[in-house]
Chain A
Amino acid sequence: MIKFNLFVLPFSLGLIYIAWSIGMHYYRWIKALPAVDKVKLSAGIRNPSKIFASLKEIFLESLIHRKLWKRNPMLGYMHMSFALGWFLLIVIGNLESRIYHGSHINAPYYPIFLKFFIHDRLVLFFEIFTVPAFFRFIMDFILLFILSGLVLAMIKRKQSKWFGMKQTTNHSLFDRIALTCLWLIFPMRLLAESYTAGFFGGGGGFLTQNLGRLLFSVTPGSAEMIAYYFWWSYSLVLGLFFIMIPNSRYMHIPSELLLIVFRHCSIQPRKWGSSFSSLEANSCSRCGICIDACQLNFAAGISGIQAVYLIRGQREQYIPENVAMTCMLCGRCQEACPVGIKVDSLRLIKRREIGSGQVSSFSYLSNSRPGFADVVYFAGCMSHLTPTITRAMEGIFTEAGVNYLFLDRGGSVCCGRPLMLAGKDKQANELIEFNKILIRQTRAKLLVTSCPICYKVFREEYNLPIRIEHHSQYILDLVKDGRIALQSQHRKVVYHDPCDLGRGGNIYNAPRELLGKISDLLPSENERADALCCGGSLGLLNTPVSKKDEVTKNALETLLKNRPDLLVTACPLCKKTFSKHSKTEVRDIAEMVHDAIPGRQTRKTRIVNEPEAVNS
């Protein structure tokens, strides 16, 4: 016997629509994947460990919302109550309905509207220990759980600061309709179930039965009719919500599921874009956490260019040039994103579109042979702007007795990354190929660089057959191997994590360990993955210096709160950028180490502006 009532139609139609729509989306995303990625996907979904890993992440991120919990417990609870609560309501409701259904055909609406069809009373005392009673209790409990989240969601609209959020996006009309439906679904269910339970004097759990009894006592005559209206409302808002999903921000829910699977199949964003990027764009919930994370927003007052706006452009297939170009590519938003969208990749895809038409000439590159060494040192362009760093490095190499070759002593050929940040990959590749030949010719086993920008591109784009280290790692190794001895200067220092070394290269500990040996390292706010950008980013291409200055000053304010004697960083660009505004001296970690070698000093300054010096 199939139970049916007309009111289940809106829900059922909505369900059919959403199933079809998501199916079509999934189909298109998968179909549009490049062949390589399709192979990865088909291999991945046959690999049980990848399936398990995907399911685990879906459980932790899409249901529990672990990242949001870490960010703010209220925010985490709110999202968990909706996601996990609704999920459990569906799963457990389904199990519950199996007690009652009389046929193998369990219509999808049946568990959803079970209490409309089933309202038997549990009269005898012992019956509260029976399976139906147990289900009724659990189902009411879950409903209460979701409703508690709904209360938080309502509070969040007014007091988002309590949830750790300052700014968010404006919602579109469809978003607002979907949100209204979402908020109404569970109160409608509560009222429908309660009125029904009240009218029939049974069928409800601790929540719905008691509320139903109360409601029935207020409106005894029309309770059945009222209940019926609420069942209709419940079905309508459910159906409408489903229809709204593909047209609103809530599309992020089904998209993220597939995104997680894609990621576990090792599918990555492609340089020139792929359906992976489109999937990422749809996985964005438009929560606006990236707006809060963006220094251009909170330090320089630049809005409309943050990740969420770029992603909107990606969805709408129109990214204005300034949105693509106004970004430091510091990676802070990426780090903060609860969905883990690779925003920087998306932005670079657009920059490549813009930059690909431009031409440059590299006819000046000469073909000289570099010579041989064990270690090849590539200072990088930025280090040539801070000769104190290259001097310190040369001092350290000499002190440690390293057979090294300073590849770019006479000035460097760019590593290519600044060009890549401008979307000029073709030009960058010319430089990369040139440098690769030079590096190979040295026959060195190890490449050391002073610049995190170079470090990142060496690792990600060069495919060199040798080890690549940033000087902070390399120097630490030298110290550990006992090749240089250091003496602490006991100066209070704060360490600043450069973007490309920290978030970009995942090197957080080596510089700290090194500084721990030679100075008194103070903590600061926004450390490690949460570090601020110095504002000197080479990725920021169309913003006035005055705005960059604001970012720098704001970052300095945070870094210097604990009043260190020195601000230490591990990037020539950070050093140079901070030096412009910092009253506290800014140094690179290499200079710190060089000064800590007993009997040495970085600054061998002879005074040149005394007339006597001329004749001496």
Chain B
Amino acid sequence: MGKSVIVIGGGIAGMTAAGMLARQGYEVTLLEKENETGGHVAHWDRLFPDRRKASEVLEFTGEGMKDVHVARGISISRITRQNNEFTVTCGMQDAGSVMKSHFTANALIVATGFDLFEARRKEEYGYGIYNNVITSADLEVKFKSGKGILTAEGKIPKRIGIIHCVGSRDEKVGNLYCSKVCCVTGVKQAIELKEMYPGSVVFSFYMDLRMYDRNFEELYYEAQQKWGISFIRGRLSECAENPDGSIVIRTEDTLTGKPLKMTVDLLVLLVGFVPAAGTASVAGMIGLKTGTDGFVNPADSHIQNNLSGIPGVFLTGAVKGPVSVTEAIADARAAAALTSEYLTASIEEHA
């Protein structure tokens, strides 16, 4: 008899876990709220630190889940558990109308991921007010489109500012945590911009650069030595818009202790992670515990990092906090392995 698994969330973590379990012979259903799987990675051009194409990673992951039943356009309204069987009640978009539907399984993997910090909440940075203020995610979309990066006025940006820690490590917006991957993303994007427009100047404003993983520090060195990107330690205070659309930024160079004012043609805000909008509702339905930051707490942060504390419910990916693509994939495989172990054990129990 076939045991079944429902994976909630079709981002890179959910896809990886679903694919791995399907390949092991479980009956896997992947529930995705959007009309396409792939999550955030689907919108990104290249991944740090080696600038490998995000689409290749996604393609690889997609190929691995041929036997997964994928349900798209899903909005979950209820999750119940009875006799070790989970029933997920949801609405399903079908040709414009919403159909109610049920899925049942023996185990549940929660991979609801993250949302990007809403940059409009930092009103002083002018996102949504000034046309030449964009987010790092907007920039990836532009890179991916392959049409070049131009200002709202259609010009090549001569001076580009990149702002680190937008919505991360910022008590004023209520997010005390570090989003961890923005630092290296910012360095990667700075290099890519400079590569595209060697005549332009790129400034990065940071608090401190957390180059935590292999080859990250090297990338940061490359950015300075090979590409001549200016890294200025200082947090952006505010922006204003000049009549020509360029952006005046005011910050402090905290290494020299001087206030700093400069004009840039394009300003990129490195937006951090926030818990996905759906996480809170799914967590509420299942009874998952969340921290004060809104991310889901695993049963144990060291040795039960994929366990939720509820038998049969597993966690993976950015639902537990900021992770890189690489980490999400590894974490998803771990979650899949533990899910498989759980399902096997429960088969033996009943045998």
B129–A576 CB distance below 8 A: no
B240–A605 CB distance below 8 A: no
B147–A611 CB distance below 8 A: yes
List A residues 384-417 near B (Cβ within 8 Å). 384-388, 390-391, 409-411
Chain B residues positioned under 8 Å from A614 (CB to CB): 142, 145, 147-150, 154
A391–B248 CB distance below 8 A: no
Residue-wise, chain B 233-277 has the 8 Å CB interface mask toward A (1 for contact) of: 000011111000000101000000111010000000000000000
In the complex, A173 has a CB within 8 A of chain B: no
Task: Give the residue of B128, B131, B137, B250 whose beta carbon is less than 8 angstroms from that of A411.
Answer: B250
Chain A residues positioned under 8 Å from B196 (CB to CB): none
Chain A residues positioned under 8 Å from B327 (CB to CB): none
Chain A residues positioned under 8 Å from B133 (CB to CB): 608
In the complex, B124 has a CB within 8 A of chain A: yes
Task: Give the residue of B124, B150, B250, B258 whose beta carbon is less than 8 angstroms from that of A386.
Answer: B124
Chain B residues positioned under 8 Å from A410 (CB to CB): 240, 248, 261
Surface stretch bound by A, among B170-178, B203-211, B298-306 = B170-178
Chain A residues positioned under 8 Å from B154 (CB to CB): 614-616
In the complex, A467 has a CB within 8 A of chain B: no
> Please, how many angstroms separate the alpha-carbon atoms of A366 and B201 in the complex?
26
B123–A388 CB distance below 8 A: yes
What's the least CB distance linking B38 to chain A, in Å?
A: 17
Q: Which residue of B lies closest to A546 (CB)?
A: B171
Chain A residues positioned under 8 Å from B171 (CB to CB): 545
Residue-wise, chain A 417-450 has the 8 Å CB interface mask toward B (1 for contact) of: 0000000000000000000000000000000000
A384–B240 CB distance below 8 A: yes
> Please, how many angstroms separate the alpha-carbon atoms of A616 and B153 in the complex?
8
Question: When A411-B248, A606-B152 are in contact, do A580 and B174 touch as well, CB less than 8 Å?
Answer: yes
A409–B240 CB distance below 8 A: yes
In the complex, B135 has a CB within 8 A of chain A: yes
B123–A386 CB distance below 8 A: yes
Question: When A387-B239, A609-B141 are in contact, do A579 and B123 touch as well, CB less than 8 Å?
Answer: yes
Chain B residues positioned under 8 Å from A411 (CB to CB): 238, 240, 248, 250, 261
Chain B residues positioned under 8 Å from A608 (CB to CB): 127-128, 131-134, 138, 152
> Please, how many angstroms separate the alpha-carbon atoms of A614 and B266 in the complex?
12
Q: Which of A385, A603, A614 has the most CB of B within 10 A?
A: A614
Residue-wise, chain A 221-236 has the 8 Å CB interface mask toward B (1 for contact) of: 0000000000000000
> Please, how many angstroms separate the alpha-carbon atoms of A576 and B122 in the complex?
9
> Please, how many angstroms separate the alpha-carbon atoms of A386 and B125 in the complex?
9
A613–B240 CB distance below 8 A: no
Chain A residues positioned under 8 Å from B135 (CB to CB): 609
What's the least CB distance linking B69 to chain A, in Å?
A: 32
Q: Which residue of B lies closest to A390 (CB)?
A: B240
In the complex, B23 has a CB within 8 A of chain A: no
Q: Which residue of B lies closest to A604 (CB)?
A: B129
B248–A613 CB distance below 8 A: no
In the complex, B126 has a CB within 8 A of chain A: yes
A579–B121 CB distance below 8 A: yes
Q: Which residue of A lies closest to B130 (CB)?
A: A387
Chain B residues positioned under 8 Å from A364 (CB to CB): 258-259
Residue-wise, chain A 576-616 has the 8 Å CB interface mask toward B (1 for contact) of: 10011000000000000000000000010110110101111
B129–A391 CB distance below 8 A: yes
> Please, how many angstroms separate the alpha-carbon atoms of A353 and B308 in the complex?
54
> Please, how many angstroms separate the alpha-carbon atoms of A603 and B135 in the complex?
19
In the complex, A549 has a CB within 8 A of chain B: yes
List A residues 334-391 near B (Cβ within 8 Å). 361, 364, 384-388, 390-391
A580–B173 CB distance below 8 A: yes
> Please, how many angstroms separate the alpha-carbon atoms of A606 and B138 in the complex?
14
Chain B residues positioned under 8 Å from A385 (CB to CB): 123-124, 237-238
What's the least CB distance linking A55 to chain B, in Å?
A: 52
B174–A387 CB distance below 8 A: no
What is the number of residues of chain B that contact chain A, defined by CB distance less than 8 Å? 39
Chain B residues positioned under 8 Å from A391 (CB to CB): 129
> Please, how many angstroms separate the alpha-carbon atoms of A605 and B130 in the complex?
8
What's the least CB distance linking A392 to chain B, in Å?
A: 11
> Please, how many angstroms separate the alpha-carbon atoms of A442 and B248 in the complex?
23
B145–A611 CB distance below 8 A: yes
> Please, how many angstroms separate the alpha-carbon atoms of A119 and B123 in the complex?
82
What's the least CB distance linking B49 to chain A, in Å?
A: 25
B238–A384 CB distance below 8 A: yes
> Please, how many angstroms separate the alpha-carbon atoms of A401 and B132 in the complex?
28
B124–A387 CB distance below 8 A: yes
Task: Give the residue of A384, A388, A580, A606 whose beta carbon is less than 8 angstroms from that of B172.
Answer: A580
What's the least CB distance linking A371 to chain B, in Å?
A: 16
> Please, how many angstroms separate the alpha-carbon atoms of A357 and B216 in the complex?
44
Chain B residues positioned under 8 Å from A616 (CB to CB): 154
Q: Which residue of B lies closest to A364 (CB)?
A: B259
Chain A residues positioned under 8 Å from B238 (CB to CB): 384-385, 387, 411
B131–A606 CB distance below 8 A: yes
Residue-wise, chain A 537-548 has the 8 Å CB interface mask toward B (1 for contact) of: 000000001000
Question: When A580-B173, A608-B131 are in contact, do A613 and B239 touch as well, CB less than 8 Å?
Answer: no
Q: Which of A385, A391, A616 has the most CB of B within 10 A?
A: A385
> Please, how many angstroms separate the alpha-carbon atoms of A606 and B124 in the complex?
17
Question: When A609-B138, A613-B152 are in contact, do A549 and B145 touch as well, CB less than 8 Å?
Answer: no
> Please, how many angstroms separate the alpha-carbon atoms of A333 and B140 in the complex?
52
What's the least CB distance linking B52 to chain A, in Å?
A: 22
Q: Which residue of B lies closest to A379 (CB)?
A: B240
B137–A609 CB distance below 8 A: yes
> Please, how many angstroms separate the alpha-carbon atoms of A614 and B261 in the complex?
26
What's the least CB distance linking A271 to chain B, in Å?
A: 28
What's the least CB distance linking A434 to chain B, in Å?
A: 14
Chain A residues positioned under 8 Å from B257 (CB to CB): 361
Chain A residues positioned under 8 Å from B126 (CB to CB): 387
Chain A residues positioned under 8 Å from B172 (CB to CB): 545, 580
Q: Which residue of A lies closest to B148 (CB)?
A: A614
> Please, how many angstroms separate the alpha-carbon atoms of A53 and B135 in the complex?
64
Chain A residues positioned under 8 Å from B261 (CB to CB): 410-411
Chain B residues positioned under 8 Å from A545 (CB to CB): 171-172
What's the least CB distance linking A169 to chain B, in Å?
A: 33
> Please, how many angstroms separate the alpha-carbon atoms of A579 and B128 in the complex?
16
Chain A residues positioned under 8 Å from B237 (CB to CB): 384-385
Chain B residues positioned under 8 Å from A606 (CB to CB): 131, 152
A387–B240 CB distance below 8 A: yes
Question: When A385-B123, A411-B238 are in contact, do A549 and B134 touch as well, CB less than 8 Å?
Answer: no
B134–A609 CB distance below 8 A: yes
> Please, how many angstroms separate the alpha-carbon atoms of A236 and B154 in the complex?
93
Chain B residues positioned under 8 Å from A384 (CB to CB): 124, 237-238, 240, 250
Chain B residues positioned under 8 Å from A390 (CB to CB): 240
Question: When A410-B240, A579-B121, A580-B174 are in contact, do A611 and B248 touch as well, CB less than 8 Å?
Answer: no
> Please, how many angstroms separate the alpha-carbon atoms of A286 and B261 in the complex?
50
> Please, how many angstroms separate the alpha-carbon atoms of A391 and B243 in the complex?
12
A615–B129 CB distance below 8 A: no
Chain B residues positioned under 8 Å from A613 (CB to CB): 152
Chain A residues positioned under 8 Å from B121 (CB to CB): 579-580
A-B contact pairs, 14 of them (CB 8 A): A361-B257, A384-B240, A385-B123, A387-B238, A387-B241, A390-B240, A411-B238, A549-B174, A580-B173, A608-B133, A608-B138, A611-B145, A613-B152, A614-B154
Interface contacts beyond A576-B123, A603-B129, A614-B149: sample of 20 additional A-B pairs, CB < 8 Å, sorted by A: A361-B257, A384-B237, A384-B238, A387-B124, A387-B238, A388-B123, A410-B240, A410-B248, A603-B128, A605-B129, A606-B152, A608-B131, A608-B138, A609-B135, A609-B137, A609-B138, A611-B141, A613-B152, A614-B148, A614-B154
**Which positions in A face B, CB cutoff 8 Å?**
361, 364, 384-388, 390-391, 409-411, 545, 549, 576, 579-580, 603, 605-606, 608-609, 611, 613-616
- What 9 A-B pairs are tightest by C-beta distance, nearest first? A385-B124, A611-B145, A545-B171, A609-B138, A384-B238, A411-B250, A614-B150, A364-B259, A605-B128
**Which positions in B face A, CB cutoff 8 Å?**
121, 123-124, 126-135, 137-138, 141-142, 145, 147-150, 152, 154, 171-174, 237-241, 248, 250, 257-259, 261
